[in-house]
Every structure is written in C-alpha cells, then in structure tokens.
Amino acid sequence: MMTPSIETIRHLIVKLLVTSAYALAAQVLPEAAFGQGATPLQSPQNKAPSPQEQCATLSVQELQAASRKARTPTSIESRLSVLPGGQITKLHLPVPLGSGEFYCAAFVEDGLVARVMEVTEVKVPQDDRKRIELTLNLPDLGFGWQRPRQLVVASFPVDALGKLNTASPGVYATRLFPVSNGLFSTLGSLAIVVLAYAAAVVALGRVGTGYSLNPVYLTSDSQDRASLSQFQIFGFTLIVLGVLAFIVLRTGLLSDISRDVLLLLGISAVGAAGSKVADHMKKRLSYENWSWLRNNGWLTTYETGIGKTPDSKRARWGDLLKTDGDFDIYSFQLAVFSIVVAYALVAGGVDQLATFEIPDNLKGLLGLSNVVYIGGKAITPNSVGELDKKVADLRDAELTWIGQVVNSVKPLADPQAKLNAAITAAPEKYQAYIGLARETARMLKSQYGTEGTRFKAEPIADSDLMPAFP
C-alpha cells in the first residue's frame, strides 16, 4: 500500500482552506460582489428564474394592468395583416429603445406567451425616426381558419437580482391581429392549386367520354405528344401560384415576386414558344402541299366527323425525355435542373418568394438547357419535311402528265376512259407519277395514320391515287 507524499497532503489542505473561505465569504458579503442576478455557488435547483421565465408566469391581467401605469403607451406596427402562428416574426413599436428593460408579450384570449427573442432599435429610412423592433416566436393556436387575437406587449425594468419590476412598466402596446395556422394555410394553398388544375382540365374539354387528369396530356402538343417545355412552364406556374396562395393565407400579404422567379417563368415561356416554333417548322406541311392533299381527299385529319380522336394515352411520361421515340439527353438535362429549381422554390419558405435567387451559373445553365433543347428538336430527322418534298415532286409529276395528255382526255366524258387514254398517251409520265404517288401515300399514312388519311385498306389501291383529269 502506497503512502501519500507530503506534497499531495499539502495540496489537499490548501484546497480545503480555499473552499472554506469562499463559502464563508458567500454568507457575509453582498450578492452583488459575485455578479448581478446570481448567488455564489448557487445550485441549479435554487437558481432565480430568468426574465423570460418570469414573463411566462405573468397572467394576462398583469400584462393588461401595465396599460394604466406604463410610461410610454404606444401602438404595434407590422407590414403583416395576419400573424403566422407557430413561426418567428418581427413587429415594431414606434418609440426609442430604453435601457434595462425586458419585453413580454402574450395573446389575451388564450393566455399564450409570445416569446420575445430579440429587441433592437432601428431607424425608419423616410424620416430617420427610431423605433423598437421585436423578434417574436409566436405560439401555435391550433388548426383552423385565421383567428382574431389581441396581442399585448409590455416592458418592465429588471433589478439587480434579475427580477422584473411589474409595478413600474415602461412601454405598453396592444393590437388585434388575425393569427393563422401553418397546416391550415398549407392545405388551403394546395386546394387553390387543385382548383387551378381542375380549371385547366375543364378548359381542355372532354377526352372521349370523360376528362383527362394526366398533366402530360394537358401540356401535350396538337398531335397529343408530350411536350417538356410546356410541362415545365405549367409546373412552375402552379408552384408559384401555390407559394403565393400560402403567403396570402399565412400572412395576409400579397408577396412580391423576385426578378429571378420572373426570369425563371420567362425562360420557361421562351422554351415553350421556341419548341412550338421548332415543331411548326419541322412538323407542318407547306400550305400549297397541304391544300393539294386536302383537295384530292388524301389528307382527312381533324376534319369534322372524321378527324383524329383525342386520346390521352398518346401522351406518356416517358416521352417527356424522348424526341421522335429516342432518348434525348437535352430533355433529360432540362428536366433535372428544372426539378432542382422547383424544389428550391417550394422549400424556400414564406419570406423567400420576393427574395428568391437562383445562382448565376444555374440561371445560365437553365437558359442554355432550353436553348439546347430547342436546338435538339430543330436538328432531329424531319420526316414531315421529307413528306413535304415528296408531295411537291408528286404535284410536279401530276402537272407534267396532265399537261402532256390534256388534248387526248378532254373530249372524253367517262373518268375511266380519261384515265386509260392518259396512260396510253404518255406511259412514261404515268409510271413517274404512279411511282411517286405510291411512295407519297405510304409516307402520308405512316405520318398521319389510317384515321388521318383516306387510305383505309391495305395495300393502297392505285385507283385511289389517280388525279382528276379535265
């Protein structure tokens, strides 16, 4: 067994003497010698309550009684017409900030304390007036519509022991506010978005026997094919509508929209317009060829009674990332970054719509993605352009054949006799025409389908391809 050294024993004796002297001084000397508002070697169980805790124990009647004794009665100012319950917000009192006072706040009807987290003095830019800015953590009043509540704010001096002097209040202010609930506001904004979506569904009209709720079909093109650019602007519009509705229900304030949000909607709109132009240039026949096909009865699509029946099944989610049936990396890039920005916009919170910022690099990337997306659509193989050229060649072949045989067929009355005479008079022109006519009819049927052309039977009969002779 080891024996303690003399040095160790000396150290223990000194420590015991110092501790005893400190305890004796704590009983004799005043509390202020050991720091304001605290007792020396005070245990957590005996610690005096903080001003914040004392505020929580004040009754509403005690706070209201401060109105009769307050040195500085004033009003509460706020840019919000509705206070967001369960959230931190800022209010202003149009008086200078005093020293040595603590602020308490509560709702009269419920007796719930609004915790004052910070008190600062700010200046009004217009007239250089000083005023108090209170940062309050408002209590949640529970689920339901906005409830009118009387908010009371009072300040009290704090003595050397850290105790509030409720007998000598300084500032007193009160105001009636509606108080909103976060969950109710969220559900209300979602309901508004659903109503807007339903309005879009009704505006589209019936698809067959009912209405289509498919967002891809709602934003599809004239051929019922999925359109990523139109889907993008539709989605961003609904998101901004939902955030605006939430802010109005939560704070009663119609929020401003930041320049970046407007730019985001503008980029989406330009992308949708550019996509339409690219589709129009690539997927529309020239007017002359379209008129020739219509007059000869070859093209029947979208005619009353025999037009292509709308079908929501043609617009598929997977087609948002495809161009002409192939996976499109440009569409994938645009979709990915659009989802990232949309999530940031939703997660930004109540106060972010007016100040929402997109990093410059991401804005450039979104713009570039739209440009590349439109460019990618413009440079994809153009089947309609090839059809348009084939129809033009067929029209030329028809004019050449008819021009060569017009004198032979004009005296004849029977259409079949006219055709036989035309074939006999210019067999080589007939062969050139019928070869082009067969190719054109096949391409036309492939592009517009059986329901969009006159060619129902298979194979296509030559008799359906003959021109009308004079």
220 vs 375, higher pLDDT? 220
> What does the DSSP 8-state code read for residue 208?
T
**In the beta sheet, which residues pair with residue 123?**
130
Q: What is the pLDDT of residue 172?
A: 93
Average pLDDT, the chain: 79
pLDDT at 225 over 50: yes
pLDDT at 91 over 90: yes
Q: Do the strands 83-84 and 326-327 form a parallel or antiparallel pair, or are they unpaired?
A: unpaired
Those residues whose C-beta lies under 8 Å from the C-beta of residue 135, and which sit 6 or more positions away, are: 88, 89, 90, 116, 117, 118, 119, 120
Which range, 23-27, 161-165, 203-207, is most confident? 161-165
Which run of H or E residues covers position 239? helix 228-251
List domains and CATH numbers for the chain.
Answer: 51-178 (2.60.40), 185-379 (no CATH), 390-465 (no CATH)
DSSP, collapsed to helix, strand or coil, labels residue 104 as strand
Indicate the burial class of 32 (C-beta count within 10 angstroms; 0-12, 13-18, 19 or more).
exposed
pLDDT at 378 over 60: no
DSSP sequence for 278-342:
HHHHHH---HHHHHHHHHTT-B-TT-TTTSPPP-GGGS-GGGGGEETTEE-HHHHHHHHHHHHHH
Q: Where are the beta strands (DSSP E) in 166-209?
A: 171-180
Q: Is the peptide bond before 148 cis (omega within 30 degrees of 0)?
A: no
pLDDT in tens, 448-467: 777 778 888 888 888 888 88
160 vs 32, higher pLDDT? 160
Please report how the helices 360-379 and 259-283 are oriented relative to each other, as an axis angle in degrees rounded to 10.
10
pLDDT at 40 over 50: no
Question: Looking up tokens 């495809």, which residue turns up?
Answer: 322
Q: Do the strands 72-74 and 101-107 form a parallel or antiparallel pair, or are they unpaired?
A: unpaired
Rounded (to 5) percent helix, strand, coil in the chain: 55, 15, 35
Q: What is the percentage of the chain residues whose pLDDT exceeds 70?
A: 77
Rounded Cα gap, residues 91 and 79, in angstroms: 8
Confidence at 8, pLDDT banded by 50, 70, 90: low
Question: Looking up tokens 């223990």, which residue turns up?
Answer: 12
